[in-house]
Amino acid sequence: MTEKETPNNTPLKKRRTWSRELATCLFLCMGYLGYSGMTEELAIVAWPFTIFGMAAFGFKQPSVETFVSQNRSDFG
């Protein structure tokens, strides 16, 4: 029996967390706050919403090697 199967060999369904969808909604709310001119409220929620969104999408960043190796001859 593997870790993703029950004793009667039926695979377990992965539980959905909806974190990416919620993060997208929070980003849309931030966009609305910025568009409507509510900058005081936007300043309060910007960091918590952004950190939650980064965690929901996995803190994905471009690799340093890709950035450094792009067209180094342009600088010299």
Per-residue pLDDT of the chain (76 residues; tens, 9 = 90+): 555 666 677 677 888 889 999 999 999 999 999 999 999 999 999 999 999 998 898 876 666 666 566 655 555 5
According to the model, what pLDDT value does residue 17 have? 86
Q: Which helix (H) or strand (E) segment is 63 a member of? A: none
Contact between residue 26 and residue 46 where contact means Cβ atoms under 8 Å apart: no
According to the model, what pLDDT value does residue 64 have? 62
Q: Which helix (H) or strand (E) segment is 45 a member of? A: helix 39-57
Phi-psi region of 14 (alpha: psi -120 to 50; beta: other; left: phi over 0): beta
CA distance 4 to 66: 36
